[in-house]
Amino acid sequence: MSDSAFNRRTFVKGAGVGAAALVMGVPAFIPRLGEAADAIKIGILEPATGTYAFPGENETIGIQMAVDAWNKKGGVMGRKIETVNEDEQSDPGVGVQKARKLVNQDKCVALIGTVSSAVSLSVSGAANAMNVLFLDSGGHTDDVTGKDCKWNTFRTCHSTWMEGHAVANTLAKKYGKKFYLITPDYAFGHSLETSFKDAIGKLGGTIVGNELTPLGTTDFSSYLTKVLPARPDALVVLVQGNDYVNCMKQADQFGLLKKVPVGGPQAELEPLWSLPPEARQGYWGIEWYYKSDKCLGAGNKAAHQFVADYKAQHPDRKPPTARECFGYVSMDRLLQAMASAKSTDAVKIAKAMEGEKFQSIFAGTSYYRKEDHQLMWPMWVAQIRPNGTPGDPYDLFDVVDTHEADAIEQSVAEKAKVCTMNYPS
C-alpha cells in the first residue's frame, strides 16, 4: 500500500510491453490523449493503532480491493491507481497533519478513510481548506453531513441519526421504553445520544440514566453499578471498538446481562468476535452483513461476488465486515466519479458523485444525496447469535428488521436548516 515505482519513466520504458499485453488480453495502463501517464494517488487515513485499529485495518482492506479491481481493468483514464497510507491514530490533530502531508508532499488528489468521528470532522475541514475531495468511510457523527457539511466531503457509512432511529423502535417493542445509556464522550457519542433520545421520545420512551465515558476507557465498573438502581427496561451501549469489548465483558462479569436486556444502535463484528459467547447478547443496529440476503440482496451478484472474492483473497482472515464494505464502496464510487468526470479535479468529481444512483455490494439502489452528501442506503437490526451457526462460528447476526434510508434519515428540508454546500466560485 506504499507508493510503487510506477511513473512516467517506467511507463515509457514499458510501453512496448503494454501494447503486447493488450494483444494478449492483459490490462495495461496506457494513458488517453491529454492524460499524463503518472499514477493517480489516493491518500488513505485510517487508524492502525489504538481503540479503532481493527475496523481501520478492515476498511483499508476494502479500499485496496476496490483499487485492485479498477487497476485490473486498466485503472482510471488509463492511469494506475496507487494508495499512500497514513495512521491517523484516532487523533484529530494527527489526522489534520497526515492529511496535509498526503496532499502537499505525496501529491494525493483525494483522501479516504477515518473511523473516529472527531478525526472525520478534522480531516473534512483540512481537505476543504486544500480543495481536495474527502470520502469519510467510517466516521458516523451527524455533523459530517449536518452542520459541518462541506462540498468536498461525502460520507459512506450511516449517520448517527440513521442508526439511532433504525434501532429505537425494535428496542422499545422488544424490551420497553425506559433506557439507560453508556455513551462515549466525544462527537460520535454525543450525536448518537441525540438521535436515540429523539427516536425514543417520539415513541413515548424515557432515558433514566446516561453515563459519559472517555474514549479508551478500560474500567466501566463505576458506570455499570449505577444501572440496576435506575431500573431501566434495557441497557443501551453506545461505545464502540475496544471500549465496547471492555464494557460488555464487565457487564457480563457483574451479572448485569442476566438481569437487564441490552442492545444499541450499532454493533460491529470486529468487537463482537473478541467477546466470549456469554457477553454476546441483545438486539443491535447493523450496517451490512456478509451472510444475509436482506443486506446483500438475493439477486445482487456483485455483493455475493465481493464476499467470495474476499474469502479467496484473504483465506486466513475472518469473514468481511461492514468496515470492508465501507472502504470498498468509498473507493469504488470515487474512482467511478473520476472516470465519469474524466478528471481528478475535486469539484468535477463531486458533481459527478452527487445524486448518481448505483447498486453496489449491498441491497437496493443507493446514492450520495446532493443536499448533504450522505450515502442513502438501508440499515438493519439483528439479534445476536452468541455461538454462531453450525459450520460458521463467525455468523453472529440474525437480521430481523430492515429500515430504508428515507425512513430513518432526516429529510432534505430538515438538513437544509443546518447544511449549506458552498462550492468554490
What are the φ and ψ backbone dihedral angles of 31, each rounded to 5 degrees? -70, 150
* Confidence band, pLDDT 50/70/90 cuts, at residue 50: confident
Q: Are 250 and 221 in contact (CB under 8 A)?
A: yes
Chain segment 233-255, per-residue pLDDT in tens: 999 999 999 999 999 999 999 99
CA distance 237 to 263: 6
Chain segment 104-135, per-residue pLDDT in tens: 999 999 999 999 999 999 999 999 999 999 99
| β-pair type (375-376, 367-368) | antiparallel
Chain segment 140-152, per-residue pLDDT in tens: 999 999 999 999 9
CA distance 8 to 150: 34
* Confidence band, pLDDT 50/70/90 cuts, at residue 326: very high
159: left (phi over 0), alpha (psi -120 to 50) or beta: beta
pLDDT beyond 80 at 26: no
Tell me what the mean pLDDT of segment 56-69 comes to: 97
- Describe the chain by its helix, strand, coil percentages, rounded to 5: 45, 20, 40
pLDDT beyond 70 at 13: no
pLDDT score at 37? 60
pLDDT score at 364? 86
* Confidence band, pLDDT 50/70/90 cuts, at residue 362: confident
Question: Nearest-CA neighbor of 161 among 136, 140, 187?
Answer: 140
CA distance 340 to 145: 24
Torsion of CA 91, 96, 101, 103, to 10 degrees: 130
Domains present along the chain, CATH in parentheses: 8-158+298-374 (3.40.50.2300), 161-286+379-408 (3.40.50.2300)
Chain segment 165-198, per-residue pLDDT in tens: 999 989 999 999 999 999 999 989 999 999 999 9
Model-level pTM?
0.89
Q: Is 150 helix (H, G, I), strand (E, B) or coil?
A: coil
pLDDT beyond 60 at 224: yes
